[in-house]
């Protein structure tokens, strides 16, 4: 082993607590030192991502962000400070990361992540971590990673909730969940709805942790984590490739990156409540109240037929999760749809899928039929 393939005494001391972790060791620490990670956005999510990747010993970090530091950033974008107000975020972030890891190599991309440079930037890095706050860049990153065969970690936050997505080549991509860029007006932004700075810290740290796990070879499945910081809850949803996915499916239609493809979809003004007015999840108690009301929602059960034979909620319609994409015509668009499964995991994935297809009034039934049996109707058998 040559000298440049070994850790120095300084590195062993600096990363000693990490090196002793199972699955890391000196070989894992060397892998991190040789890794190249591209961070999209040096804001609320990119700040903790960058700090923890640098502190973990990642050797090369690229930062793409076209913005400058503003005072409204500081309550959550902890990589910046009052002394960097007005500076490009890439410069401010690089200075902070260098204080944590003086040996870190940082490449600045103040032009941001664009259609023109996306393919090249992705090809130059081992991993892309996306903390941007607009749909156009998210979908551009997702498609560029599929085309470039690079893993992607995605994060998003709103108020006190967030999501962390891990998308591995060949194992399901971002568009398997969200096939089409939605209307930007259908989902509120942090500027509109607000966000807790600590929520960004939780989600960004989680993104960094997933990124490190990928670099260490400890992830082999795409997955989505749904986190509610205020409620103190999180759920993991395993993802699988969607055969109909326009990006990674066998009949993919996205074969390159074209500028016009990443303009936000503009929809006509809605005549009914939008996604931002429809909760992503509702409790079984609230669902029971709605279902017994004068204009009940449709209850869509996405479990398998054998599960449906064991127990069901009266009035529910069965469409197994894997059959939903081919049976969309059976899902009404003019009424509120509640999606239900056993514990709430599969139904959350279907809820997200339907929303990506433009279904504005769709919500997940929190806890599924198991929670319904425990809290609403104990005559419904549990399994």
**338 is a domain residue:** yes
The verdict on 132 and 90 lying in the same domain is yes
Q: Which of 298, 299, 319, 325 is nearest to 307 (CA)?
A: 319
Alpha-carbon Rg for the chain, nearest whole angstrom, is: 22
Side by side, which strands form the sheet with 60-64?
105-109, 60-64, 36-40, 127-130, 152-158, 161-167, 223-228, 233-238
Structure tokens at 90: 């890439």
Please give the residue range of the domain that contains residue 246: 35-262
- Contacts with 226 (C-beta within 8 Å, 6 or more apart), sequence order: 161, 163, 234, 235, 237, 348
The verdict on 299 and 242 lying in the same domain is no
Give the model's pLDDT for residue 325. 86
Structure tokens at 282: 């509702």
How far is CA 231 from each of CA 97, 153, 226, 352, rounded to the nearest angstrom? 32, 24, 12, 20
The verdict on 242 and 285 lying in the same domain is no
Structure tokens at 252: 């993919």
Q: Are 130 and 156 in contact (CB under 8 A)?
A: no
In DSSP notation, 188-243 reads --HHHH-B-HHHHHHHHHHHHHHHHHHHTT---S-EEEEEETTTTEEEEEE----T
Q: Which is the catalytic residue, given 145, 173, 176, 190?
A: 190
Q: Are 49 and 202 in contact (CB under 8 A)?
A: no
**12 is a domain residue:** no
- pTM to 2 decimal places: 0.71
200 catalytically annotated: no
List pLDDT tens digits, range 298-333. Answer: 999 999 999 999 999 999 999 999 888 888 889 998
Q: What is the DSSP letter of 292?
A: T
List pLDDT tens digits, range 174-217. Answer: 998 888 886 555 455 555 556 788 999 999 999 999 999 999 99
How far is 135 from 185, CA to CA, in rounded Å?
11
Give the model's pLDDT for residue 21. 95
Q: Is 28 helix (H, G, I), strand (E, B) or coil?
A: helix
The verdict on 254 and 287 lying in the same domain is no
Give the ranges where the chain is alpha helix by DSSP (H). Answer: 9-14, 16-19, 25-34, 46-56, 89-100, 118-123, 135-148, 174-177, 190-193, 197-215, 284-291, 305-310, 345-356, 368-375
The verdict on 237 and 353 lying in the same domain is no
190 catalytically annotated: yes
The verdict on 113 and 194 lying in the same domain is yes
How far is 40 from 38, CA to CA, in rounded Å?
6
**How many domains does the structure of the chain reveal?**
2
Q: Whose structure tokens read 């399901």?
A: 172
Q: What is the DSSP letter of 278?
A: S
Q: Which is the catalytic residue, given 145, 245, 311, 341?
A: 341
List pLDDT tens digits, range 123-133. Answer: 999 999 999 98
Which residue stretches of the chain have pLDDT < 70? 1-4, 182-194, 263-277
The verdict on 110 and 239 lying in the same domain is yes
* Dihedral pair phi/psi, residue 48, rounded to 5°: -65, -30
CATH number where 235 lies: 3.40.50.720
The verdict on 136 and 228 lying in the same domain is yes
Burial 105-130 (b: 16+ CB within 10 A, else e): ebbbbeeebbbeebeebbeebbbbbb
How far is 112 from 40, CA to CA, in rounded Å?
8
Give the model's pLDDT for residue 191. 55
The verdict on 62 and 209 lying in the same domain is yes
Q: Are 51 and 31 in contact (CB under 8 A)?
A: no
């Amino acid at each position: 082993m040559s000298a440049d393939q070994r850790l120095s005494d300084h590195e062993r001391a600096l990363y000693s607590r990490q090196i002793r972790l199972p699955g890391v060791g000196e070989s894992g620490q060397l892998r991190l030192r040789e890794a190249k990670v591209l961070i999209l956005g040096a804001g609320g999510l990119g700040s903790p991502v960058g700090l923890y990747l640098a502190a973990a010993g990642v050797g090369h970090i690229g930062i793409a962000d076209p913005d400058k530091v503003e005072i409204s950033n500081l309550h959550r974008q902890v990589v910046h400070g009052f002394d960097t107000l007005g500076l490009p975020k890439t410069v401010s972030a690089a200075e902070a990361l260098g204080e944590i890891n003086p040996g870190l190599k940082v490449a600045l991309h103040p032009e941001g992540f664009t259609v023109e440079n996306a393919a090249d930037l992705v090809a130059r890095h081992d991993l892309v971590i996306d903390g941007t706050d607009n749909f156009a860049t998210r979908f551009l990153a997702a498609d560029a990673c599929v085309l470039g065969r690079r893993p992607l970690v995605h994060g998003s936050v709103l108020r006190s909730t967030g999501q962390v997505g891990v998308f591995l080549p060949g194992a399901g991509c971002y568009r398997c969940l969200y096939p089409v860029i939605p209307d930007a007006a259908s989902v509120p932004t942090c500027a509109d709805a607000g966000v807790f700075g600590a929520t960004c810290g939780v989600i960004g740290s989680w993104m960094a942790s997933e990124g490190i796990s990928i670099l260490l070879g400890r992830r082999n499945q795409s997955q989505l984590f749904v986190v509610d910081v205020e409620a103190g809850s999180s759920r993991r949803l395993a993802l699988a490739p969607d055969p109909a996915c326009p990006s990674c499916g066998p009949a993919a239609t996205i074969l390159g990156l074209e500028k016009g493809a990443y303009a936000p979809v503009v929809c006509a003004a809605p005549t009914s409540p939008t996604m931002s007015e429809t909760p992503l999840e509702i409790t079984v108690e609230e669902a029971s109240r709605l279902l017994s009301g004068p204009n009940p929602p449709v209850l869509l059960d996405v479990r398998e037929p054998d599960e449906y034979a064991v127990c069901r909620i009266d009035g529910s319609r069965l469409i197994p999760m894997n059959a939903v994409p081919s049976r969309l015509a059976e899902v009404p668009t003019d009424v509120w749809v509640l999606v239900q499964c056993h514990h709430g995991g599969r139904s959350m994935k279907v809820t997200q899928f339907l929303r990506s297809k433009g279904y504005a009034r769709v919500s997940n039934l929190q806890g599924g039929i198991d929670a319904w049996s425990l809290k609403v109707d104990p005559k419904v058998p549990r399994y």
